[in-house]
Amino acid sequence: MQPFSYSVKFVLRGTVVTLDSRRRIIKDGCIGVDAGKIAFVKSARYRLPAEFQNAPVINVDGYIYPGLVDLHNHLAYNFLKLWKITKKFVDRYQWAGISRYGKEITAPMKLVTNANPVELMKYCEVKAMLGGATTIAGFAKFNKSYAAWLLRNVEAEQFEQESRIYTSVLKLRDEQQYLDTARKMTEGNAFIYHLAEGTSAKLHAEYDELSRYGLIRDKLVAIHCTALTAEHMKEMGRKKVKIVWSPLSNLLLYGATSDVVSAKKSRATICLGPDWSPTGSKSLLWELKVADLVNQSLNNAFTYRNLVEMVTVNPAKAIGWDDKVGTIQPGHLADLVVFDRIDDDPYRNLVLSTEGGLKLVLIGGRPRYGDLEMLAAFGIDSAEKITVDGREKAIDILEPGVAYGDIKLETVLSSLAGALANPIKAAKKLFETVSKKSAEPIRLIPLEEDEIPSLVKTRTFESFVEKNQIIGTKAATALDPLTMSEDKDFFKTLEENPNIPAYLAKLRQYAR
């Protein structure tokens, strides 16, 4: 076979977990892929369509799922390790206001988003992909045009002329912002919003304010909703609001999570999102395990299928992309993930799978990651080799011909590790670049702000660091490992957290 080009036709054969409206599972199924899209999905018993007669058939020997869709992340922070939390908070404004947060989270984030923005984004995309995601929200913006995305970027991708997705992590500020948001929703745009994060009843005011402007409606994708009551959930279900649940982050910070049982009773669409690495799971794959444990404590209010729906079809519906991603159907994008078979129930299989079991990731039909022999079946032998969970894998993050498309994972890892091990050196280099150049270097802007603030130019390095609030604690910060199998500290930090329920210690048992 010729080296792979994703404009060619090919067929994937394995057990197809479609997540389509009938939730079909095709035990021995074939998916035809043509020019990055799914051309057909059928049982292997039937003949291939004439135009696929000569197409290569790749036997994956595993379960094929739609690529996972993550609607709650903050990628600019995902290089940080799990944060040591020593007290219980009641809302998000509390922890974001303590000085330790500024030193341990904000300052290193500012350094890396300015000193190594492209490497940082690539690192965070790879981390999400190794956890099964092919679509993600929470991309920080670049200050300059950037096209070397690896995953589908919810905020930047517009699929030509179609409606955009808007997000706001920050609370809407004034009447104008509420009115603008109402108009965007009326125009058909989804709005992803952090709502009532914490346990304090004072947070109900955030809900009331949305309600006053008519924003409790179908286009609202509400993240957290932890402080909301069963009554709120009932109304949200009736008004077809979409909810994004992030149990690990909630339990670590607040010792409680959203009333998902009431949300389910009200038939609200529930999605699952890992939030970010300082207080959440490394990826959707691990947030599924947290959800599994919480669900057990709720007398299994959700089935395994429900949990898998929360990372596939539900988030796709929530942002109006259900005609493109989140299910395996003809006409959809060929964003597919293949996992080893470790359980007879394909849904339980995904919940129990760890990173090592991810055999193949296709984005738009293009193989981006997988077992060596899997990529070899596509004729790819030049991709970078990495070891995950003791298994040899290969990864291709290159985007030939696109600015910043030539950076390899090896470079990404060494640059980031270098900057974190020696933040002063990285900051000095940034200071010199900013001082010398008239135009600003490419930078990653972590929050949705209308105007992107420039780096403050100063005469001395000391004032540069102070004015821009970069570096933080002078102690080196280690890079959060890409996968749980490499992470020696995660479970320990988790178990030392004073807020989590005892059952979360069982999370260790999913590591294999």
Note the residues at the interface with Zn ion (CB under 5 A). 275
Least Å distance, CB 291 to Zn ion, is: 16
Least Å distance, CB 476 to Zn ion, is 26
Nearer to Zn ion, 72 or 289 (CB): 72
Inter-residue contact 384 to 395 (CB < 8 Å): yes
**Do residues 295 and 302 lie in contact, with contact meaning Cβ atoms separated by under 8 Å?**
yes
Residue with smaller CB distance to Zn ion, 181 or 349: 181
The nearer residue to Zn ion, 168 or 458, going by C-beta atoms, is 168
User: Residue 218 CB: number of other CB atoms within 10 A?
Assistant: 14
What's the min distance (Å) between Cβ of 245 and Zn ion? Answer: 12
* Type of residue numbered 443: R
Q: How far is the CB of 110 from Zn ion (least distance, A)?
A: 18
d(CA 101, CA 112): 16
Give me the least distance between CB of 460 and Zn ion, in Å please.
Answer: 36
Structural tokens at position 446: 């972590």
| Per-state percent for the chain, helix, strand, coil, to nearest 5 | 35, 20, 45
Dihedral (Cα; 489, 494, 497, 501), 10-degree rounding: -160
CA atoms of 214 and 182, how far apart (whole Å): 7
Q: Cα torsion at 79, 84, 87, 88 (round to 10°)? A: 40
Q: State residue 273 phi and psi, 5-degree precision.
A: -145, 140
Minimal CB distance to Zn ion: which residue?
A: 275
- DSSP annotation of 50: G
**Which of residues 78 and 312 has its CB atom nearest to Zn ion in the complex?**
78
The smaller minimum CB distance to Zn ion, of residues 226 and 353, is found at: 226
* Residue 63 vs 191, nearer CB to Zn ion: 191
Of the pair 89, 339, the CB lying nearest Zn ion is at 89
Helices and strands per DSSP (H, E), number in the chain: 18, 19
Q: Minimum distance between the CB of residue 275 and Zn ion, rounded to whole angstroms?
A: 5
Q: How far apart are CA 223 and CA 171, in angstroms?
A: 12
Closest by Cα among 116, 144, 253 to 194: 253
Query: Which long-range contacts link 180-189 to residues 24+ away (Cβ below 8 Å)?
Result: 181/213, 181/215, 182/213, 182/214, 182/215, 185/215, 185/217, 185/219, 185/220, 187/163, 188/163, 188/219, 188/320, 189/163, 189/164, 189/165, 189/219
Measured CA to CA in angstroms, residue 329 lies from 20, 56, 324, 361, 425 at distances of 7, 20, 9, 17, 50
Cβ atoms of 266 and 237 within 8 Å: the answer is yes
User: Closest CB to Zn ion among 254 and 304?
Assistant: 254
How far, in Å, CA of 110 to CA of 101, rounded?
13
Calculate the CA 510 to chain-centre distance.
20
- In the complex with Zn ion, the residue whose CB is nearer, 275 or 371, is 275
| Locus of tokens 């299994």 | 300
Q: Which residue blocks in 257-408 are alpha helix, DSSP H?
A: 260-265, 284-297, 304-309, 313-318, 346-352, 372-377
Whose Cβ is closer to Zn ion: residue 74's or residue 359's? 74
Sequence-distant (6+) residues with CB within 8 A of 52 are 9, 11, 32, 39, 40
Considering beta carbons, is residue 108 or 280 the nearer one to Zn ion?
A: 280
